[in-house]
Structure 1
Amino acid sequence: MTAAAREPVEMRVKEQWQYQLRAYLTDEAAEVARIDRNDSTLHPLKEILDKHHATLVSQFDAFQSYVAAAEKEGPESFPLYQWTKATIEDPVKRAKHSRSFALRVSGKEVYPREIADKLEADLQRLVGGSLVTRISRHDTNPANNLPIPSEYRA
């Protein structure tokens, strides 16, 4: 029997999940990042991102793009349209998501745990400073994802 076969099923499944980190920027840094990710005030963050072949993607801008695409192509093909539209129209959620940035690595939205671990370790030194307020980690395990609220289900 191989070592992998002897591992508990939970361990093998857990290692199959992919991860995404999100950086929550200060109001000032978020405003700059949404306009010019190469601005010199973001240099410490950009340096870490470049090291890991990572880029910032504004959650709010991504939501706006999703809604715009749905409205152009027909919302029936976009299962999260109503929920996403309601989110960007809510002032509290709008402010929250304007400061949230998904980190893509080599153009990928999700990536292996090892990559997420290394990127997160480097980003932690910026938390609490003038750029980053916190970092969060999300995975592809369906049990850990928010369910679509009933009022937005098709």
Structure 2
Amino acid sequence: MAEIVQFQIRIAVAPELADALRSGGDYEGRDLLEAVLRERNAALKCQFDAFADYVEEAGRVGQDPYPLYPLYQWTKDTIGDPEKKAKYLKSFTVYVRGEQVYDQEAADWLHARLSALAGKLGIESVSRFDTNPANNPQPPARQ
């Protein structure tokens, strides 16, 4: 039985918008962006914050429950690298109903609406990903 492919939308934003989204601060156009997201019960999560949360959780519970230890090490190294930190502080994953991957219909709708805002409101780009391993980089190999 084939696995159902799910999707994820990510946006890259201007540093000023990223700061406002992370802090809840004011930024012109943020209300419009958040209104679009609310139409699909969606919210944004900063990728840097998600990476930091993962590393913090792994440190708290120990690495044994994390079978992809190389992924943990890559993530830890990434958040410690100033250039990568700057990149991921501007990158946001769209969560729908609290889930980081969702059906194609939701992804298509979000991609279309957010792409229409690209170049405006501080949104620099909109990307679409799926869960098909053939379309995505795999975790680093164990060393």
TM-score normalized by the length of structure 1: 0.83
In structure 1, give the amino acid aligned to 2:59.
Answer: E
Q: Do the aligned partners of 1:23 and 1:100 also contact (CA within 8 Å) in 2?
A: yes
User: In 1, distance between residues paired with 2:130 and 2:106?
Assistant: 13
Partner of 1:98: 89
SS in 1 for 2:48: helix
Is 1:120 the counterpart of 2:111 in the alignment? yes
Partner of 1:109: 100
Q: Do the aligned partners of 1:20 and 1:137 also contact (CA within 8 Å) in 2?
A: yes
Is 1:131 the counterpart of 2:122 in the alignment? yes
User: In 1, distance between residues paired with 2:126 and 2:60?
Assistant: 33
Q: How many residues align?
A: 139
User: In 2, distance between residues paired with 1:98 and 1:148?
Assistant: 21
Q: Do the aligned partners of 2:79 and 2:85 also contact (CA within 8 Å) in 1?
A: yes
Is 1:58 the counterpart of 2:46 in the alignment? yes
> Over residues 60-89 of structure 1, what are the superposed CA-to-partner deviations in whole Å (9 max), with x where a residue is unaligned?
001001001111111232222111001111
Tell me by how many angstroms 1:40 deviates: 5.6
Q: Do the aligned partners of 2:16 and 2:27 also contact (CA within 8 Å) in 1?
A: no
Tell me by how many angstroms 1:23 deviates: 1.0
Q: CA RMSD in A?
A: 1.9
Partner of 1:148: 139
User: In 2, distance between residues paired with 1:28 and 1:129?
Assistant: 13
SS in 1 for 2:33: helix
Is 1:46 the counterpart of 2:37 in the alignment? no
- Which consecutive unaligned segments of at least 5 residues does structure 1 have? 1-12
User: In 2, distance between residues paired with 1:123 and 1:107?
Assistant: 18
Q: Do the aligned partners of 1:45 and 1:131 also contact (CA within 8 Å) in 2?
A: no
User: In 2, distance between residues paired with 1:86 and 1:73?
Assistant: 19
Q: Do the aligned partners of 2:7 and 2:103 also contact (CA within 8 Å) in 1?
A: yes
Give runs of ≥4 in structure 1 deviating > 6 Å: none
Q: Do the aligned partners of 1:20 and 1:102 also contact (CA within 8 Å) in 2?
A: yes
Tell me by how many angstroms 1:136 deviates: 0.5
User: In 1, distance between residues paired with 2:61 and 2:131?
Assistant: 27
Partner of 1:18: 6
Tell me by how many angstroms 1:130 deviates: 3.2
- Which consecutive unaligned segments of at least 5 residues does structure 2 have? none
Percent of residue pairs identical: 42
User: In 1, distance between residues paired with 2:125 and 2:81?
Assistant: 22
- Greater helix fraction, Structure 1 or Structure 2: 1
